[in-house]
Amino acid sequence: MTLYWLLSVPAHGDDHAAWRDVKARIGESDLYDFHLPQLKIGTLDTLVQLSDELSKLDTAYEATTGKFIDTLRSLTQANNEELASKLSVEGKTVDQYVRTFSWNNAKYRSDRPLPEIIGQISESMAAVDAQLKTKMTQYNALRNSLATVRRKQNGNLSVKSLNGIVKRSDCVADSEYLQTLFVAVPRMLTRDWLNSYERLSSMVVPRSSSKLAEDSEYALFSVVVFKRVQDEFAAKARDARFIVRDFVYDEEALEQDRAHALEVVEQEEELLDTIGEWLVGTFGDVVTAWVHIKALRVFVESVLRYGIPPDFVPLLVRPNMKQASKIKQQLADFYAYLETSSRASERAKLAGKAKPRAADDSALDMHEFSTILSDYTPFVLFNIPWTFLDE
């Protein structure tokens, strides 16, 4: 399992010291810089609103990423190793992209207000979701058609196509009054059929029934009746658990069914290729949007937690999973002084790295929430789980 922690800690005016503080407490875990551009802060009210919105978008885009991978896996039957070789983000593997993240200013201009950037990401992802839904609707409709074709080809005699089973010689040809019906009879009821079919309705030709085929569940019989009673015969047969098949021998229809079956198979293969190519090609955009939302979350939460002007260091940790709990606790212990803004100011003052903040400091006092938030840490921390390709 691959898991990254996207975190931020206060710098107190010295980014390098903050980096060393974290590195000293994560042991053999990997530590990477996570570069954020200079973003516009806006008002406190706006940041609080954005915090809630970003949390929802983060969850939604993580689900979309998983949906892309699950859909690819389902459509291509590829294993995780094969999927990993197909998926890339800006020419990199997902791990490489996350570890070397750099804000895509060409796509999301950092000099725009935060709500505008978030709106742009949301709009692009809404379009991706709509396209995915449309493509999967097309595929499911085609898959249903293919299932119908295969059921006709491979089902039992009560549902499969009778083209290729019934021959011209099995039918009464060109009769103005007589009609050959084909009846699927459960094998356990074969004797009942032979003993009763002549009495199911009037105007049944005596001794006209012949067995044409048999599978593990049904036997297929022909029977000749007058056309005027075929509906009555079918209803009486249904009451007796005999299935009169809706079939009229037609060589032209036989060829059309064969051509349709081939066409549906070809259409499915073409659509699978088209959807697969689109999923692989769009996957990078989805992950890019998701990680940029993570970046915006860490920025917004850091400003809310530590106050303004921004003085924090965003970092990426790939924890040693066997020691993850211990590492998180060591970091929490070291940054416990951040539980209140007054403690943070006092720590910075004593360290001589920053001026103490005023009483109306804009950072939020999280101490009162720490007892009710089970995943609370005194520093900003978000998971970037990359577990979609786990066995």
Of 106-120, 252-266, 279-293, the least confident? 252-266
Q: What is the pLDDT of residue 1?
A: 52
Radius of gyration over alpha carbons of the chain, in Å?
35
Q: What is the pLDDT of residue 340?
A: 61
CA 312 – CA 102 distance, rounded (Å)? 17
Give the pLDDT band (50/70/90) at residue 243: very high
3-state DSSP assignment of residue 159 = coil
CA angle 116, 121, 123 (to 5 degrees): 90
Tokens 């931020």 locate to 8
* pLDDT tens readout for residues 363-381: 444 444 443 345 778 999 9
Tokens linked to 134: 């449309």
* pLDDT tens readout for residues 85-127: 889 999 999 999 999 999 999 999 999 999 999 999 999 999 9
Q: For residue 223, what are the β-bridge partners?
A: 181
Q: What is the pLDDT of residue 266?
A: 84
Tokens 């709009």 locate to 123
* pLDDT tens readout for residues 312-366: 999 999 999 888 999 999 999 999 988 764 444 444 444 444 444 443 444 444 4
* pLDDT tens readout for residues 149-195: 777 777 889 988 888 888 888 998 888 999 999 999 999 999 999 99
CA 135 – CA 61 distance, rounded (Å)? 19
Query: Do 63 and 385 meet the contact criterion of CB atoms below 8 Å apart?
Result: no
Sign of the Cα torsion 275, 277, 280, 283 reads: negative
Tokens linked to 273: 């290729």
Kind plus residue range of the DSSP H or E element containing 347: helix 341-351
Query: Do 245 and 184 meet the contact criterion of CB atoms below 8 Å apart?
Result: yes
Contacts of 114 (CB under 8 A, 6+ apart): 39, 40, 41, 42, 46, 47, 50, 296, 300
Q: 176: how many CB neighbours lie within 10 A of its CB?
A: 5
Mean per-residue pLDDT for 14-28?
94
Of 33 and 370, the structure prediction assigns the larger pLDDT to 33
DSSP 68-133: HHHHHHHHH---HHHHHHH--BTTB-HHHHHHT----TTTS-TTS-HHHHHHHHHHHHHHHHHHHH
> What is the overall mean pLDDT for the chain?
87
Residue 91, amino acid: G
